[in-house]
Amino acid sequence: MNEPAEQFAFTTSDGVTLRYLQAGSGPTLLILHGWSQGAALFKYQLAGLSDRLRVIALDMRGHGLSDKPSYGYRVARLAKDLQELIEALRPNPLYLLGHSAGASVIWNYLEMFGDSLVSKFIFIDEPAALLADPGWSEKQCLDAGAIITPNGLYQFTNRLIGPGGELATRDILMSMVTPAMTSQQREELVAVNLQFPRALAARLFVDNVTRDWRDFIPRIEKPTLIIFGRASPHPVECQQWIHKQIRGSRLEIIEASEGEVTLCFWKRRTDLIGCCAIF
């Protein structure tokens, strides 16, 4: 029987209270949302998987219902927050799922703290390197997933922190969804994103976009599932590249007709994400 999610809190070593939703029992699936999003958007996974897993969806610092301090908006600090939560909970076995920038946080966690406490990984729609070097070939950009130029990066973040910040947020989110997403779902998505103050969101966006994980990803050795939405703004080549780098990994591509959004945490993706228990 599926259990309703309950909210819990955890305080980091630098005094920030993070909140997370939890439902179910069994092996732990710990979910990290993408940039500017939040745990509430994983309500279908919390409800749909709680009969077989202990599902935890974290609001990373600044996001959702977690504290919004003026400091710490770097992927490395979010990875440290993750490490402290894992140390506090000590789940065994532990599966880590990272959607978009959440995958980058996991990669940073693994680079700094190793994989001894984690059994399996799920990475959803995060390229190895988002920022395009003007000297790269077209193939290098496709393999890396480099869809943002240096000028484009700062044009977007300047919009984000200005009076048009909400519109900039809507624009980037709507580029990630399919027409099948209802207006109510779109408004829910925007509302959760706006819980993260735009100036803080801009700081984290710059930090995440300017990272390059191509040297680290081949070092991942635990069983890994890679999920990609075909309608994503990212090229499929970047997910195929990650799949090739992680020995024994599995790549699942969701066609636009299969799901309600390219943000692969929506309702119809419950069973696919549940593959983490068996892959």
pLDDT (0 to 100) of residue 63: 98
| Tokens standing for residue 245 | 């780098």
Task: Encode the chain (279 residues) as per-residue pLDDT tens digits.
Answer: 566 899 999 999 999 999 999 999 999 999 999 999 999 999 989 999 999 999 999 999 999 999 999 999 999 999 999 999 999 999 999 999 999 999 999 999 999 999 999 999 999 999 999 999 999 999 999 999 999 999 999 999 999 999 999 999 999 999 888 888 889 999 999 999 999 999 999 999 999 999 999 999 999 999 999 999 888 899 999 999 999 999 999 999 988 765 544 555 554 444 555 555 445
Put simply, whether the predicted model's pTM sits higher than 0.85 gets the answer yes
Contacts of 196 (CB under 8 A, 6+ apart): 36, 38, 62, 63, 64, 68
pLDDT of residue 275: 53
Instruction: From 3, 48, 39, select the one nearest 267 (Cα to Cα).
Output: 48
Q: Name the residue among 82, 83, 105 with its Cα closest to residue 208.
A: 105
In the chain, domain spans? 6-277
3-state helix/strand/coil string of 190-254? HHHHCCCCHHHHHHHHHHHHCCECCCCHHHCCCCEEEEEECCCCCCHHHHHHHHHHCCCCEEEEE
Q: State the Cα angle at 40 between 180 and 60, rounded to 5°.
A: 125
Asked if 86 contacts 94 with a C-beta cutoff of 8 angstroms, the reply is: yes
Tokens of 126: 């995060």
Dihedral angle over CA of 242, 174, 62, 269, nearest 10 = -60
Q: How high is the pLDDT of residue 270?
A: 46
3-state SS, residue 122: strand
pLDDT for position 265: 55
As given in the structure block, the two tokens for residue 94 are 């532990």
3-state helix, strand, coil in the chain (%, to 5): 40, 20, 40
CATH architecture group of domain 6-277: 3-Layer(aba) Sandwich (3.40)
* Calculated CA dihedral for residues 4, 180, 123, 271, nearest 10 degrees: 50
**3-class SS at 178?**
coil
- Order of strands, edge to edge, in the sheet holding 120-124? 6-11, 17-23, 54-58, 28-32, 94-99, 120-124, 224-229, 250-254
H or E, element range at 18 = strand 17-23
